[in-house]
Amino acid sequence: MKTYELANEDKMPALGLGTWKSKPGEVYAAVRHSIKTGYRHIDCAAAYGNEAEIGKAFTDAFLEGDVTRDELWVTSKLWNNAHLKEDVRPALEQTLKDLSLGYLDLYLMHWPIALKPGVGFPASGDDFLSPDEIPVSVTWAAMEECVDAGLTKHIGVSNFSIKKLKALNANSRIKVQVNQVELHPFLQQNSMLEFCQKEKIVLTAYSPLGSSDRPAVFKAQDEPSLLENKTIMEIAAANNCSAAQVLISWAIQRGTSVIPKSVNPNRIEQNFQATSITLNDADMQIIAGLDRHSRYVVGEFWAMPGSGYSVETLWDE
Ligand code: A2P
Which amino acid residue places its CA nearest to atom 26 of ligand 1? 244
Is 39 noted as a catalytic residue in this protein? no
Instruction: Give first-to-last CA distance, the chain, whole Å.
Output: 35
What is the pLDDT, as a whole number, of residue 250?
98
What is the pLDDT, as a whole number, of residue 203?
98
CATH of 3-211+222-315, one of 3.20.20.100, 2.60.120.10, 3.40.50.1000, 3.40.50.150: 3.20.20.100
Residues 6+ apart with CB under 8 A from 231: 286, 287, 290
Q: Provide DSSP, 48-69.
A: GS-HHHHHHHHHHHHHTTS--G
Write phi, then psi, for 78 (nearest 5 degrees): -80, 125
Closest CA to 226 of 287, 300, 158: 287
Ligand 1 center from residue 191 Cα (angstroms): 27
Low-confidence spans in the chain with pLDDT less than 50: none
Closest CA to 38 of 276, 206, 234: 276
Distance from C-alpha of 236 to C-alpha of 14, rounded to nearest angstrom: 21
Beta strand 114-115 pairing with 128-129: antiparallel
The amino acid sitting at 35 is I
What is the pLDDT, as a whole number, of residue 235?
98
263 CB within 6 A, ligand 1: yes
What is the pLDDT, as a whole number, of residue 154?
98
Which amino acid residue places its CA nearest to atom 9 of ligand 1? 211
Give the helix/strand (H/E) hosting 14: none
264 CB within 6 A, ligand 1: yes
What is the pLDDT, as a whole number, of residue 297?
94
What is the pLDDT, as a whole number, of residue 222?
84
Q: What is the mean pLDDT of the chain?
A: 96
What is the pLDDT, as a whole number, of residue 280?
97
Helix (H, G, I), strand (E, B) or coil at 128: strand
Distance from C-alpha of 297 to C-alpha of 220, rounded to nearest angstrom: 10
Helix (H, G, I), strand (E, B) or coil at 238: helix
Ligand 1 center from residue 273 Cα (angstroms): 14
What is the pLDDT, as a whole number, of residue 215?
84
Helix (H, G, I), strand (E, B) or coil at 113: coil
